[in-house]
Amino acid sequence: MSVTPALTLASLAREHVAERLGAYGIDAVLDAGTFYPEPGRVLVGLPSLTARTLAGATYTVPVYVVSRDPLNDTLAVDRLYTTADTAADALDVAVYDERPWAGGTNQDPLPALWLTATVSLNYQPASEV
């Protein structure tokens, strides 16, 4: 018999962000180790705890919209910003910033836009056995 461990609220916050992006047609990845950038690819980063109450917690979750293309033509720039605008709509984020992304197999930072999603979750009461 295998038992699936309960996810932490931080993990649930990441999944929530990925699900919201997916609802808007954005295929987001959670694992930077398997993230191979393609134009318009989105990476959900690790959450930061920003508030805790007796009932739950609030996290900020970084989201990177990464372009493999150099941003030296209008099409590449528009593709990156179209994805970022869609992600901002999905996550109800009003601002995003240019922030290069470096990681995985890439030696040089890739052009990217950075959004910060805010997720508040409530603790689930333990079910009775």
pLDDT of residue 104: 61
Residue 108 lies in a domain: yes
Residue 59 lies in a domain: yes
Residue 45: CATH number of its domain: 3.30.2000
Handedness of CA 62, 67, 71, 74 (dihedral sign): negative
Nearest CA among 124, 129, 118, 116 for reference residue 63 = 116
Distance of CA 46 to the CA centre of its chain: 8
User: Is it the case that residue 86 has pLDDT exceeding 80?
Assistant: yes
Give the tokens for residue 18: 């990925």
Q: Where are the beta strands (DSSP E) in 19-129?
A: 28-29, 41-44, 48-52, 56-66, 97-98, 112-122
Report the C-alpha gap between 124 and 60 in whole angstroms: 20
Which pLDDT tens digit goes with each residue over 102-111?
A: 876 656 788 8
Which pLDDT tens digit goes with each residue over 29-84?
A: 888 766 665 556 899 999 999 999 988 999 999 999 998 788 899 998 999 999 99
Spell out the residues 6+ positions from residue 14 whose beta carbon is closer than 8 angstroms to its own.
Answer: 30, 44, 46, 47, 61
Kindly indicate the confidence band of residue 118, based on its pLDDT and cuts at 50, 70 and 90. Answer: very high
**Number of domains comprising the chain:** 1
Residue 61 lies in a domain: yes
Residue 3 lies in a domain: no
Residue 55 lies in a domain: yes
- Its domain, for residue 43, covers 9-122
Residue 33 lies in a domain: yes
